[in-house]
Amino acid sequence: MNEPGSARTRRAVAGARAAVAAGIENQPTADVRKSIAFQAFLLFTIGVAILGLALLLIDAFVEGLPRFGTELFTAETSALPQDSGFYNAIIGTLLVIAGVTAMTVPVGTGAAIYLEEYADRERWWNRLIEVNIQNLAAVPSIVYGILGLAFIVRGPLSIGFVVLAGSMTLSLLVLPTVIIAAREAIRAVPPSIREGSLALGATEWQTIRRQTLPAAIPGIATGVILAISRAVGETAPLLLVGAAAFVTFSPEGFFDRYTVLPVQIFTYFARAQDEYIVLAAAGIIVMLILLLAMNSFAIWLRNRYEQKW
């Protein structure tokens, strides 16, 4: 009796296994092919993105590297391309972004605090402000350039083609980005921290000043640096608000005339002589180094001070 019983069991088990195996192997191959094709397409898109960037970089490096050296950072602009450096432009860029930082950090953080901590989202004007900020972040930079020219360089403020005009124009440009980044940093502070502080008898302002804001500062700083590195690369609005094509001196204050790196690169490329083209390519390397340094600092800051909740 045992023998046939166990044989039957064996057969049944074998049959079940075969059925399961058949089920696994008989997957419709069309689906598999589709999935592979989709993956290949995704890889291709990544490839295009990286390849484009790589080609640009390689081109700039191949052309500019022979001309690249420390004198690019220290030499002032000269009438002769072989003696020219980017010292004036670097100082101009640093002054402009110092102005941008001084203006966007307090205004941007303040706006973010209002929107996150005080604004009642039920009110239509708060929603209007929110939608507007998001839309402003998408406005083309040239529009800000025209605005700066009409209202800051000329028009009501009429401060002329000076560093401050460049700073104010770029501040308007990056402010929406800074506000959005600061809001996200403030929102990342869990409500339980605010509750804990308020439950100890702290006022709303004390809670913001001593708990929420300190906890959000690393995030805000990261956002500000990334926004400013965008401002560093901006050319179009600065062409309009007076970053001069050719200045042989460095600005000494916010009311001096100035030039910035991208504008200088732009004008060098527009010249006929080959020496200027090479100089412009070397300028790109200088600017890339500046941007990479800023972005690395932002990443370091985020990793170093970011609070894990």
Partner 1 sequence: MDEQVTEPRRDQETGRTDEAGRATSGDGAARPGSDQGGAAPAERALPSIQDTARESQPRKGDPAEAGEREIMFGIETLRVSYGGQPAVEDVTFDILKNNITALIGPSGCGKSTLIRCFNRMNDLIPSASVEGHVHYHGEDLYGPKIDPVEVRKRIGMVFQKPNPFPKSIYDNVAFGPRILGMKDDMDGIVERALTRAALWGEVKDRLKENAYGMSGGQQQRLCIARSIAIEPDVILMDEPCSALDPISTGRIEDLMIELKENYSIVIVTHNMQQAARVSDMTAFLMVALDDEEDNPRGRLVEYDQTEKMFTNPSDQRTEQYVTGKVG
User: What residues line the site for partner 1 (CB under 8 A)?
Assistant: 120, 122, 190, 192-203, 206, 210-211, 215, 307-308
**Of the candidates 130, 58, 92, which has an alpha carbon nearest to the alpha carbon of residue 231?**
92
**Do the Cβ atoms of 231 and 97 come closer than 8 Å?**
yes
In the bound state with partner 1, the residue whose beta carbon lies nearer, of 31 and 120, is 120
In the complex, least distance from residue 54 CB atom to partner 1, rounded to whole angstroms: 41
In the complex, least distance from residue 309 CB atom to partner 1, rounded to whole angstroms: 8
In the bound state with partner 1, the residue whose beta carbon lies nearer, of 22 and 199, is 199
**Do the Cβ atoms of 107 and 177 come closer than 8 Å?**
no
In the bound state with partner 1, the residue whose beta carbon lies nearer, of 81 and 218, is 218
Share of the chain residues as helix, strand and coil, in percent rounded to the nearest 5: 75, 0, 20
* 247: helix, strand or coil: coil
CA pair distance 236, 78, nearest whole angstrom: 24
Name every residue whose Cβ is closer than 8 Å to that of residue 81 and which is 6 or more positions away in sequence: 273, 275, 276, 278, 279
**Of the candidates 77, 33, 15, 26, which has an alpha carbon nearest to the alpha carbon of residue 276?**
77
**Of the candidates 249, 276, 251, which has an alpha carbon nearest to the alpha carbon of residue 265?**
276
In the complex, least distance from residue 65 CB atom to partner 1, rounded to whole angstroms: 46
In the complex, least distance from residue 223 CB atom to partner 1, rounded to whole angstroms: 19
CA pair distance 261, 243, nearest whole angstrom: 10
In the bound state with partner 1, the residue whose beta carbon lies nearer, of 47 and 214, is 214
In the complex, least distance from residue 208 CB atom to partner 1, rounded to whole angstroms: 12
CA pair distance 54, 278, nearest whole angstrom: 19
In the complex, least distance from residue 210 CB atom to partner 1, rounded to whole angstroms: 7
Strand partners, 243: 258
In the bound state with partner 1, the residue whose beta carbon lies nearer, of 69 and 196, is 196
In the bound state with partner 1, the residue whose beta carbon lies nearer, of 171 and 212, is 212
CA pair distance 14, 5, nearest whole angstrom: 14
In the bound state with partner 1, the residue whose beta carbon lies nearer, of 67 and 194, is 194
Take residue 265 and report the two structure tokens written for it. Answer: 């690169």
Quickly tell me which residue has 């094509």 as its tokens: 245
Name every residue whose Cβ is closer than 8 Å to that of residue 213 and which is 6 or more positions away in sequence: 109, 113, 186
In the bound state with partner 1, the residue whose beta carbon lies nearer, of 59 and 195, is 195
User: Dihedral of CA 289/290/291/293: which sign?
Assistant: positive
In the complex, least distance from residue 182 CB atom to partner 1, rounded to whole angstroms: 18
In the complex, least distance from residue 220 CB atom to partner 1, rounded to whole angstroms: 15
